[in-house]
Structures are given as structure tokens and as C-alpha cells.
Amino acid sequence: MAFSRVKRKLFPERFLVFISRTVPQREMPAAGWRTLFLLLLLLLPVCCCGEEECVLGLVGRPVSLPCFLPQLLTSVNLSIVWRRGEEVVLWSVWREDGEVEEWSVSRFSTPEDASLSGNFSLQLHSVAASENNTHFSLVETSGGNSSSELCSVCLQTAASFSTPLLQREESKHGGGEAVFSCESSGGFPAPTLSWLINNKEDPPPGAVTTITTPLPDTQLFNISSRLTVNLSKGGGVTCIVENPKLNETLSSSSYSVTRSAVQIRASEAMWIFSTALCVVVGVMVLMGVAYQIHLDRIHKRKKHDFQKLQSRGYKRRSPDKEEEEEEAMKPEEEEEEEKEKKKEAMKPEKESEV
């Protein structure tokens, strides 16, 4: 895509070629040709000068400012400068040996094959909202002197807004009056916000309060609005955020009054159900813990009783062994007593013999 500056440079040559081919060849003095050429130059701005071509860039995303100049491919030691207003943002030199020297601000660059393709477009790696309506121009330099502009393009910036967040609040005054709030953020430029009642009616005068807040760091905008209105049963509202620069329209619709009441009841029922469920689960957990403690106590008691029974059985087994030992010793004692009795019985017999 060629720009107006380029058109101004190429148009006279093409137009003269066209005239030379279509107009019959007639002798004309040099002064006449010079006068015709000057007349064409005077008429050229009227024919070619329109609005300067602009490129729309999205904030935070890359964008390319197009500039195609195939006629520069035959230049030797080509040197170009891209300017943002009066500030130089990129300077490039293509030498005969193929070496390229380039200096630029970190966010700007040109295609690596510019000297081969004729594409000298300026590439921005990230668009800032502050660069809205900024003019960029490409100038060819020779020996440190600048020539006329070869390309001129303006940059316009835009950013999408978030989906409107629409909320309904109960009015402090009561009487069926409802308050709706609508918020959207992170867009550029400042949008327009409007309300619709029942998808067709505009709010009454004085019912809407809208505030647009610019963010100092990014220059993006946040917008918020409040609508106070009396709604009939089953009515609803819609919040609409428009960004004409992006041809973008975002909207959110509120719940009707009837549906809102149903939702309130449903939420209350859900809250009661969740509370009851938590209580039941808590009681079951406590019962489980108590039952486990009871089982532990029973187990300890049984273990203790078993140990007692074992100790009593040992004591009972010990007296039985003593009785058995005594019974085993009794025959021996009786035999010894009988032997002593026999000895005593034999003593009188011995004495009588003596």
C-alpha cells in the first residue's frame, strides 16, 4: 500500500506518460511544456491529497505501519529514518556490501529483508494508548541531509472494554424502587454507556449517574453508572457499553423483578440446605468419634480382664504342685516311721536276752 506522499512523487511521471500516449503528438514550445507541468503540479494536491492514512493498533499488541517503496531497491548506501513527530525512533543504513546498521528504540524495528523486498514498514512490538493520533514519517537521508518524506502514516489506538458487570441493589427508600449498577474497565478511548428499560425505553431524566475514570499508568478508562428506576412486575434493564473506534458494543441485561425474587428465595433455600447439611455432617463426625472412643475403652477393658484372668490361673496352678510334692513325700516319711518303730520293738528283746 503506497501513501499520499508516495503518490505525489509517482503520479506526475505516470500522468505525463499517460498524456504522451493518449494526446496526439504535436510540437509544443519548451515554455508550453513547462507551463503545463507547473499547472499539473498545482492541480496535483487537489487530486491526490486526501486524509492521511491511519492504522488502528490495539493496546498491548504489535502493529505494523505499512510503507512499500520498491523504487528504493536500486539505491546505493540506502539510509532511512523513521520519525515519531520530530523524534527519531529508528535509523537504518544498507551498504553495498550487504551490511546493515540499525539503531532504534526498543519497541520499533523494520523487516530484515527490507532492502530486497522494498517493505520498509515500521513495526511496533507493543502499542501504548498514549500513542493515539501519533504521526510517523519515513525520510530518506543522503550525506547527513534529509530528503522529502517518503511515507507518512498516523497511528490510532484502541482497547476493548470488559463485559459490563450489572448488579441489582435494593433501594433504601423502598416503594418498589430499584437501583442498578453497571461497570466496565480496561478500554480505550472513553466509551459511551446507555441504559434501556424493558429493551425499548430510555431511562427518565435524572435517573442515571455515570462516571468515567482514566487510569494514570496506562491511560485506559474505567466507566461506571447507576440507574435508579421504578420497575413494574416482570420488568428488566439493559446496560450497553459502546466503543465506536472498534465498532464494539457490549451489553448485559438484568434479571426481572419476579425472577430476582425467585432467585432470592432459591438462594435462601440453598443457604438453609447447606447449613443443615453442615450440621448433619458435623453431628455424624462427632458420633463417629464418640463411638470410636467407646470401642477403644471396651478393648482396653477386655485386655485388662484377660490379663487378670491369666494372673489368677497362675496362682491356682501353684498350690496344686505343692500338694503333689507333699503327697509324694508322705510315703517316704511313713517308711522311716515304720523303721523306727521296728527298731524300738527289737530293743526289749535284746535286753531280755542279756
Q: How far is CA 140 from the centre of its chain?
A: 43
The strand order across the sheet containing 192-197 reads: 192-197, 237-243, 248-253
Q: State yes or no: pLDDT of 310 exceeds 90.
A: no
- State what percent of residues in the chain have pLDDT above 90: 36
Contact 33, 16 (CB under 8 A): no
Is-contact 120 72, C-beta < 8 A? yes
What pLDDT score was predicted for residue 38?
44
Phi, psi (deg, nearest 5) at residue 25: -70, 115
Q: Which of 97, 151, 165 is nearest to 121 (CA)?
A: 151
Q: How far apart are CA 33 and CA 26, in angstroms?
A: 11
Q: What contacts 24+ positions apart, CB below 8 Å, involve 108-113?
A: 108/82, 110/82
Assess whether pLDDT exceeds 90 at residue 63. Answer: yes
For residue 309, what pLDDT band results from cuts at 50, 70 and 90? confident
pTM: 0.55
Question: Does residue 139 have a pLDDT over 70?
Answer: yes
pLDDT of residue 17: 38
- Residues 155-185 have pLDDT tens digits of 999 999 999 999 987 766 656 688 999 999 9
The pLDDT tens digits of the residues spanning 17-61 come to 344 444 444 445 555 555 554 444 444 433 333 346 789 999 999
Average pLDDT for 250-263: 66
Strands (E), the chain: 54-58, 63-65, 78-84, 87-94, 100-104, 108-109, 122-124, 134-142, 145-158, 165-170, 177-187, 192-197, 208-214, 221-230, 237-243, 248-253
Mean pLDDT lowest for which of 119-128, 134-143, 187-196?
134-143
**Cβ neighbours of residue 103 closer than 8 Å, sequence gap 6 or more:** 90, 91, 92
**CA-to-CA separations, 47 to 6, 7, 15, 36, 39, in angstroms, rounded:** 14, 10, 12, 16, 12
Q: Alpha carbon of 192 to those of 186, 195, 208: distances in Å?
A: 14, 10, 13
Report the mean per-residue pLDDT for the chain. 77
What pLDDT digit, counting tens, does each position of 81-104 carry?
A: 999 988 999 988 877 776 778 888
Lowest mean pLDDT among 5-9, 192-196, 248-252: 5-9
DSSP calls for 206-217: T-EEEEEEE-TT
CA-CA distance, 44 to 7, in Å (whole number)? 10
- Own/partner contacts of 330-338, CB < 8 Å, gap of 24 or more, are none
Cell numbers found for residue 235: 420488568
Which set of grid coordinates corresponds to residue 183?
461497570
Contact 159, 245 (CB under 8 A): no
Let me know: does 78 contact 140? Beta carbons within 8 Å: yes
What is the mean pLDDT of the segment spanning 188-198?
93
How many whole angstroms from its chain centre is CA 110? 31
| 143/162 Cα distance (integer angstroms) | 51
Query: What's the rounded Cα separation, in Å, for the pair 13 and 128?
Result: 39
Top pLDDT among 222 and 29 is at 222
How far apart (Å, rounded) are the C-alpha atoms in residues 354 and 340? 22
The confidence score (pLDDT) of residue 122 equals 93
What is the average per-residue pLDDT within 201-220? 92
pLDDT above 70 coverage of the chain, percent: 68
